[in-house]
Chain A
Amino acid sequence: DGGITQSPKYLFRKEGQNVTLSCEQNLNHDAMYWYRQDPGQGLRLIYYSQIVNDFQKGDIAEGYSVSREKKESFPLTVTSAQKNPTAFYLCASRLGSEAFFGQGTRLTVV
């Protein structure tokens, strides 16, 4: 089955540690996205990538980093510089007008 896979579903980290969230897709889509979702805040764009080896900052990129070395993979690193990292993170890929989302990773930093 084609789709977007995010792992793990739940992730716990201590404050001050970097953590990398995985996102893999087998849909052969060029464009991929990372969003952060907090209650009442909707989906806020962190980073997006139109093509391999290229990515752009979204509205809330500070404290995050990404890479796009392969078409299938778009990992997100939440660095210690991110002041409020606890959130629900969603990855998506896009073909034309339609975006396809993974099931999300709920990150809790304690």
Chain B
Amino acid sequence: GQSLEQPSEVTAVEGAIVQINCTYQTSGFYGLSWYQQHDGGAPTFLSYNALDGLEETGRFSSFLSRSDSYGYLLLQELQMKDSASYFCAVSGSGYALNFGKGTSLLVTP
């Protein structure tokens, strides 16, 4: 089976930097991805890491350490519109895509 752990809530100030961690256990691993979901909306893809290291996409970066079964999403220059839920997801064997329980990010003025 697969399990993913991430913090349930994070609060940060506008303009700050925040890191959302994700640890996973899986029987087969191809990559770690991150999704953003605003209340009542559809999740949208942010990033994907298949290899160790940092991937940067604008204000968002994602990191993976396969040996530690760990990754994180880094959000810089936080804006109010970044308030949302963030999910890490593991691509496993057989095309399965399993998500964590999500981290609710609140950005305050």
Give residues in A with beta carbon < 8 Å to B. 31, 33, 35, 40-45, 48, 50, 56, 58-59, 90, 92, 94, 97-104
Contact = CB atoms under 8 A, between A and B. Distances in A.
Interface in B74-109: 87, 89, 91, 94-102
Interface of B: 1, 8, 31, 33, 35, 41-45, 48, 50, 87, 89, 91, 94-102
8 contacts: A33-B97, A43-B87, A56-B95, A59-B1, A90-B43, A94-B97, A97-B50, A99-B33
Contact of A98 (B8, B48, B50, B100): B48
A110 B109 CA distance: 41
Nearest to B91: A97
Given A41-B101, A48-B96, A97 B33 contact: yes
Interface secondary structure of A, over-half rule: strand
B42 A42 contact: no
Q: Which 9 A-B pairs have the closest CB atoms?
A: A42-B101, A97-B48, A101-B42, A43-B99, A50-B95, A98-B45, A42-B102, A101-B43, A42-B99
Contact of A35 (B1, B31, B50, B99): B99
